[in-house]
Copies of this chain bind each other. A is one copy, B any other.
């Protein structure tokens, strides 16, 4: 059993700081991966796309490092309830960040499948959507680093814009497909890109909700957050 003394407390603080540093690095890399994947998509830059795919390994490695450090810290320092809850939240947050990285990788992998697609009119809208999503990811992780519950709430509110973007892009792409059947495959890939971005926004919201819970001890109001696209059935259905 660990004995609680000044030494233990100091060692624990050091572990927590190292943990926060790792999470912050991981978040920065995931945000970067998203922006690079979208640049690669819009420019058809296969080398940049390959770089995103390769870079995802580092994000996965950081997750494994956080996990190991967390388990080690819990085992050695036996933290009290509040600290323990923060460490568990950290574990959950990195698993979400890892998934955000996977979505970026998935977008990057589609670049090779879309050489005829750069002229599709939805690309600029997807770029705008991705800029908002990158901001949400950034702010969600900032809210964790700063233990800022207000910022966390603002992330969940702004995720509504992402959902609106998704619904609009879905409609535009479906119309485009009807008018340009020979671009159906490329458009289907862009539908998935839009969906990935929408999911990344949801994940930023998930992080924000966890932060809110760790900081305030309460669950975030149900809900500020807005509907998922499949909730707003009419929006997609209009095109049927």
Chain A residues in the interface with B (C-beta under 8 A): 1-4, 67, 70-71, 74-75, 78, 80-81, 84-85, 88, 91-92, 95, 106, 109-110, 112-113, 116, 170, 173-174, 177-178, 181-182, 184-186, 188-189, 191-192, 195, 228, 230-231, 233, 236-237, 239-240
Contacts and interface: CB of A to CB of B under 8 A. Distances in A.
Given A112-B237, A184-B184, 10 more contacts: A1-B3, A71-B81, A78-B78, A106-B230, A109-B231, A116-B240, A174-B184, A177-B177, A185-B237, A191-B192
Contacts of A95: 92, 95
A166 to B, nearest CB: 12
B230 A110 contact: yes
A109 to B, nearest CB: 4
B75 A80 contact: yes
Contact of A1 (B74, B78, B116, B170): B78
24 contacts: A1-B2, A1-B3, A1-B4, A71-B84, A71-B85, A74-B74, A75-B80, A75-B81, A75-B84, A88-B91, A92-B95, A95-B95, A106-B230, A109-B230, A116-B240, A174-B188, A177-B177, A177-B181, A177-B184, A178-B181, A184-B184, A185-B237, A191-B191, A192-B195
B67 A240 contact: no
Instruction: Label chain A's interface by main secondary structure.
Output: helix
A70 to B, nearest CB: 7
Contacts of A189: 236
A80 B75 CA distance: 7
